[in-house]
Amino acid sequence: MVEQTARIQDAVVSFDTEPLILVDSQDKVLGYASKDECHDGDGQLHRAFSLFIFNDSGELLLQRRSDQKRLWPNYWSNSCCSHPRQGEEMFEAAHRRLYEELGLRTQLQYLYKFEYQASFGDPGTEHELCSVFIGKSSGNVQVNINEISEWRWVSPADLELEMADHPEQFTPWMKMEWAELTGRYRQSLDRLLGA
């Protein structure tokens, strides 16, 4: 188990050349481009996903993005976010990445998808059609140090206060998605947490 944990914690799981899926606003596949190309300039619309993982106490797992990240390094964000690769289904990619980044395996519930575009200046832009999932896990978190510099569990109430006081410390997609989770999708979240 120790050897497997070590592989998770320092495995290289992101590549600038990995082929991502280009789509239109209706999620029709238009082609493929490297991760680098997808984030250059104003960005090219591509498929992505965001995961919100809660523990048995109803706390959300937050991660601080690695300083190696091209976009929003060292910002706090939701539990896990990434992209399906060419030939990969969304659920398959979400489960893969959850294990690669956090060493967790759990059921995921799809909630919704939305399109957004956010610029980080010269380094590039996120332009994603992002599918949002929630899940619950009491598993042992084993963070991948190439992807995550810090992590913690936080109660929704404390997160609300922190995001109100320091919105500049969070990724733009995290703020948009959290507003939807605690607004339009509140009932789904309450059911997951047994509230």
Q: Out of 101, 128, 147, 177, which one is annotated catalytic?
A: 128
Q: Please state whether beta strands 108-119 and 125-136 pair in parallel, antiparallel, or not at all (unpaired).
A: antiparallel
The position carrying tokens 């048995």 is 56
128 catalytic, yes or no? yes
Contacts of 140 by beta carbon, 8 Å cutoff, 6+ apart? 103
Which one of 38, 80, 81, 130 is the catalytic residue?
Answer: 81
Ramachandran sector of residue 103 (left: φ over 0; alpha: ψ -120 to 50; beta: rest): left
Residues 6+ apart with CB under 8 A from 168: none
Distances (CA, A) of 110 to 10, 56, 132, 181, 185: 29, 19, 6, 12, 11
* Cα–Cα distance, 89 to 68 (Å, whole number): 27
Q: In the numeric block, which tokens belong to residue 155?
A: 């109660």
Give whole-number Cα distances, 49 to 1, 2, 43, 161, 164, in Å: 29, 29, 16, 25, 24
- 130: tokens are 């992002």
Q: Is 130 a catalytic residue?
A: no
Catalytic residues: 81, 128
